[in-house]
Structures are given as structure tokens and as C-alpha cells.
Amino acid sequence: MADPRIETTIEGAVATITVNRPDKLNAFDIDMLVALDAACDRIEADGSVRAAIVTGSGKAFSAGGDIKAWGTMEPQEFGHQWVRMGHRVFSRLAGLRVPVIAALNGHALGGGLELAGAADIRIAEQGIRIGLPETSLGMVPGWSGTQRLVRRFGTQVVRRMVLGGEMFTPDEALALGLVDRVVEKGEALAAARDYAGAIAERGPAALEITKLMIGIAAGEDDGSAVEALGSILAAKTGDMREGVAAFTEKRPARFKGEW
């Protein structure tokens, strides 16, 4: 059964994932991570989707992980189940074939900022705070805060958040490159929809390929993007079609080197 705390809607070419646990500032537990993974599956499988938005309900974008969900876990369970699962699911979101926009309608803290960091574009509302407060709880960022966020935002800004406990306003975050645009309170989702609509007008194949290429250049890819691009290219060649036909017909292949 779908978890109602992760809502996925598709309108035209734009999918929207809403973290819907406002009473807990949209903090995640294990079931919500599973539901977010399923939302990514749904978006990947729907060829009509050209862009995706992730946002929160209520006063927060997300406060990260629910301390009640992980606070009593044994170390091995905490590392293997909680940290590795969250890391995998957020990487799934980051690796969607379509561009992802984070509409920061409220505070993005800890895992909430790591969730926003998985998006390609971030639009923040005035009045929110952005930071990585994990070390104040005696823990470390575990959902790629010291990995993806360093590559996307830079080493020093992550140091300031993790080591110094600094939290940034939207305008400060814009100057530091943590967000791409700042809008008035209540306008982030509408701005994200406008941006997603502009993305949806562009060539979907070009967008997907370019997103993969940027990930490679940024050092974010583990080799899967290179193999995906190579596989797509090979699949479109006459040689591959001939190779499959020759195998099926049990005859020698007659390759021509056609691209």
C-alpha cells in the first residue's frame, strides 16, 4: 500500500513529489524512504514526464530524518539500514532521467538539505533556514551531505555548515550557490512549476543525455552514465541490430560499422 506521506502527482509533463508529514516537519522514516524510491520508479516508467519537482507540505521542506526512527537503532542497523538506504534512495532521485527541481517551501535541514541537494535546481522561499546540524547530535551527515553536497556546493560551504553549525538564509544560500533562485513566501512551488514547464519544452533526449554528461564532468557518476550513454549509442547502430538478428537466426554476423 502506498504511503500517503509521500504524494506523487503527474500533470502533463511534470511530476510532483510532495513530502507530506507536516506535523513532523516532513521528517523521514524508513517507510517514507521506501515510498520515495517507489515515486522515482513511477516517474522513470512514465515516458510522458519531462521534469520533476520535489517539495514539502506545511511549514518545512524537510527536517531530514526523524530522530525517533533512527535514535534507538543499534550501530550496525543504523549504518546498514538507515544510512545506506537513505543514501541509495536520494541517489535514485538525483539520477532520474529527467531534471529535478526542489521547491524549498520551508526549512531544509540535515537530510532535508541532502534531499534538496539531490535535485538539479533549487528554488527557495524567503524566511527559511538551510543547514546541516547533524554534528550537534553527535552524528555525521549520512545521506551524501559530505559527498554529493561537497561536489555540488563546494568544500568550504559544507565545512561551515557541518563543522561550524552555520545556517544560511535564502539570500546567503543564493550567494553561496546552495540555491539557484529566491522567491517570496508561498511562491516556491509556482516558480518550480514554471521552471519545469520551460524544461518540458526542450528536447527530452537532449536533456537526458546532457544531464548524464554534466554528472560525469562533475565527478558524480560511478560509471553508470558512461555505460548508459554507450549502450544507447550501440543500441541505435546497425551493427547491434545485425548482431541480434544473426544470433537469433544462428548465422555469422555481417557487421558494416553503421552508426
pLDDT of residue 1: 63
What does pTM read for this prediction? 0.91
pLDDT at residue number 140: 87
- Which positions are catalytic? 114, 134
What is the number of residues in the chain? 259
Q: Using the predicted structure, report yes or no on whether residue 251 has a pLDDT greater than 80.
A: yes
Residues 258 and 193: their CA atoms lie apart, in Å, by 41
Number of helical (H) and strand (E) elements in the chain, helices listed first = 12, 9
Q: Which helix (H) or strand (E) holds 102?
A: strand 100-104
pLDDT for residue 208: 92
| C-alpha Rg value of the chain to the nearest Å | 20
pLDDT, tens digit, 9 for 90 and up, residues 114-150: 999 999 999 999 999 999 999 998 888 988 999 999 9
**Is the distance from CB of 111 to CB of 117 less than 8 angstroms?**
no
Average pLDDT estimate for 49-76 = 90
Mean pLDDT value across the chain? 92
Residue 15 pLDDT > 90: yes
pLDDT tens-digit series, residues 24-36:
999 999 999 999 9
What number of CA atoms fall less than 13 Å from residue 18's CA on the CB side? 16
Cα dihedral 154/55/51/222 (nearest 10): 40
pLDDT of 171: 97
pLDDT of residue 117: 97
Q: How far apart, in whole angstroms, are the C-alpha atoms of residue 199 and residue 220?
A: 22
Q: Mean pLDDT over residues 152-177, rounded?
A: 96
Give the pLDDT confidence score for residue 72 in this predicted structure.
81
Q: What percent of the chain has pLDDT over 70?
A: 99
Confidence of residue 235 (pLDDT cuts 50, 70, 90): confident
Q: What mean pLDDT do residues 230-235 have?
A: 82
- Give the separation between CA 128 and CA 188, rounded to whole angstroms: 11
Domains of the chain: 6-200 (3.90.226.10), 204-249 (no CATH)
